[in-house]
Amino acid sequence: MSQPSLYHHLIGGRFVASSSGRTSENRNPADTRQIIGVFPEGSAADVDAAVAAAQAAFAHWRLVPAPKRGEIIFRAAQLLAERKEQFAHEMTREMGKVLKETRGDVQEAIDMAFYMAGEGRRLHGQTTPSEMPNKFQMSLRQPLGVCAMITPWNFPMAIPSWKIFPAIIAGNTVVIKPAPDTPLSTYNFVQTLLDAGLPEGVVNIVCGGAEVGEALVSHPDVKVVSFTGSTATGARVTKLAAEGMKRVSLEMGGKNPMIVMADADLDLAVEGALWGAFGTSGQRCTATSRLIAHRAVVGELTERLADGAEKIVVGNGLDDASQMGPQINAAQLDKIVRYVQLGREQGARLVTGGTRLGEGAYAHGFFHQPTIFADVTRHMTIAREEIFGPVLSIIAVDSLEEAIDIANDVPYGLSSSLYTRDVNAAFHAMRDLFTGIVYINAPTIGAEIHLPFGGTKGTGNGHREAGTQGLDVFTEWKSVYVDFSGALQRAQIDNN
């Protein structure tokens, strides 16, 4: 049997061993007997070296014309497209989700690359008329410097692309700490950038856990921190970054509701709920974890959802027959089991599922059945806390107003959806659902890269990723005034 590949940190364009000498194994969550690779466990010293390399690269990279930076990203998009199938297979092995989904993950990085490459020829500022004669004024974006990025395991190529491409098109440099469960996809992504001609030191990788994360967030030469992960960790990131007055972008948890009214197309609603709740094994921050249904249809809807969930094929994501893969690791699987038990204890009715799968083909992986609870009330734990697994809670309501009130009554505000044929109800929901994303007649998952992505309340801190708004956290506005009158003109003075 061949030995697993040994990886090193990427610092200043060179792969270097961790100063700690420690390593960790990355294993397939569908079959933990398979080692994907051996990755370094970084330290604060590795972070110091990576930030220094990024700081040195920034001096040159910020002066490269933005269209030229865009050309490198465009070439990276083409290379990602050529390597899509390879990267999708490797992502399925390290993350677990089925091939159709990992192909989509890589495609999202491709889409973001093409989109941000185009921004190299825009990066729009403003010109406005001056209140004084013979005077010109404009605003423009400028980069901030070294950006620290801490990314999660559920979209191990798409989410780094949301962060890295806008940062580097604007002229910043990057140190990224990939999730310990899925570092290979980040290596594949960054290697593609290097192959496309990205200069040494513009993007650096330091692997590791909390020690690396805290050292990155606290480093005095880091100007921006972009974090995606749990709300608890996001709060810690905020406190550490505040001491250095850093700019921070947070994308955190969700408890996303899908509302189904009595006039909804139930065929469409069932299909959407099954995909929203059990796609990626429920391991999306936008996953449909609450289904809020009108009492007139909740019984039929529950039966049809149970029938659909029981037909979902759970298995290794590399198997074409599989429709849902494993959970990412043992801790996540144990967390799901605890929430299922809480649901039972608090009086929710288990409709289907509720059991981890651990025998036969599942013996060496972290698998759980698609699970549905009915008779859930808004105050139950499973209706309020993010589970991040294949668990759907069904709540019955009597009106759209009650549904929206329940939908908003959680600590998160990422995504929501409404199924209805009533255009008036749709516009009420679009106005009153307090989430960063609202879908009409679609589940809570499926965001596109050219609109801003992010949420309210405990989901984020007001910044957005994707779209042109994704540039905002990585740029500083500068206003420029040019007076060509040849005389002193005094602004903010009464010249009448």
CA geometry: angle at 149 spanning 147 and 153, to 5°?
A: 165
Amino acid 44: pLDDT: 98
Alpha carbon distance 274, 202 (integer Å): 41
Alpha carbon distance 75, 114 (integer Å): 9
Mean pLDDT in order along the chain per 10 residues (496 residues): 86 96 97 98 98 98 98 98 98 98 98 98 96 97 98 98 98 98 98 98 98 98 97 95 96 97 98 98 98 98 98 98 98 98 98 97 98 98 98 98 98 98 98 98 97 96 96 98 96 71
Amino acid 492: pLDDT: 77
Amino acid 411: pLDDT: 97
Residues 249, 243, 220, 210, CA torsion sign: negative
Alpha carbon distance 329, 232 (integer Å): 19
Amino acid 389: pLDDT: 98
Q: What residues form DSSP beta bridges with 397?
A: 294
Kindly give the interhelix angle for 99-119 and 66-82, rounded to the nearest 10 degrees. Answer: 160
Collapse the DSSP code of 95 into the 3-class scheme (helix H, G, I; strand E, B; otherwise coil) and give the result: helix
Q: Are strands 475-483 and 135-143 parallel, antiparallel or unpaired?
A: antiparallel
Give the CA radius of gyration of the chain: 24
> Does residue 207 carry a catalytic annotation?
no
435 in Cβ contact with 447 (< 8 Å): no
Collapse the DSSP code of 421 into the 3-class scheme (helix H, G, I; strand E, B; otherwise coil) and give the result: coil
Walk me through the domains of the chain, giving residue ranges and CATH numbers.
Answer: 9-252+460-479 (3.40.605.10), 256-440 (3.40.309.10)
Q: Out of 90, 108, 119, 251, which one is annotated catalytic?
A: 251
CA geometry: angle at 473 spanning 468 and 477, to 5°?
A: 85
Alpha carbon distance 227, 252 (integer Å): 8
Amino acid 496: pLDDT: 60
> Does residue 147 carry a catalytic annotation?
no
Q: Out of 285, 310, 345, 402, which one is annotated catalytic?
A: 285
Amino acid 491: pLDDT: 83
Alpha carbon distance 378, 394 (integer Å): 10
346 in Cβ contact with 377 (< 8 Å): no
Amino acid 493: pLDDT: 75
- Residues whose CB falls within 8 Å of the CB of residue 135, separated by 6 or more in sequence, listed in order: 481, 482, 483, 484, 485, 489
291 in Cβ contact with 260 (< 8 Å): yes
The length of the chain is 496
Range list of β-strands (E), 85-217: 126-129, 135-143, 146-150, 173-177, 203-205
Tokens of 118: 């185009």
Collapse the DSSP code of 6 into the 3-class scheme (helix H, G, I; strand E, B; otherwise coil) and give the result: strand
Alpha carbon distance 9, 160 (integer Å): 16
- Residues whose CB falls within 8 Å of the CB of residue 149, separated by 6 or more in sequence, listed in order: 160, 163, 164, 167, 174, 175, 176, 177, 225, 226, 227
For 322-358, give one letter per residue: b (16+ CB within 10 A) or e. bbbbbbbbeebbebbbebbeebeeeebeebbbbeebe
Task: Give phi and psi for 351, each to the nearest 5.
Answer: -85, -45
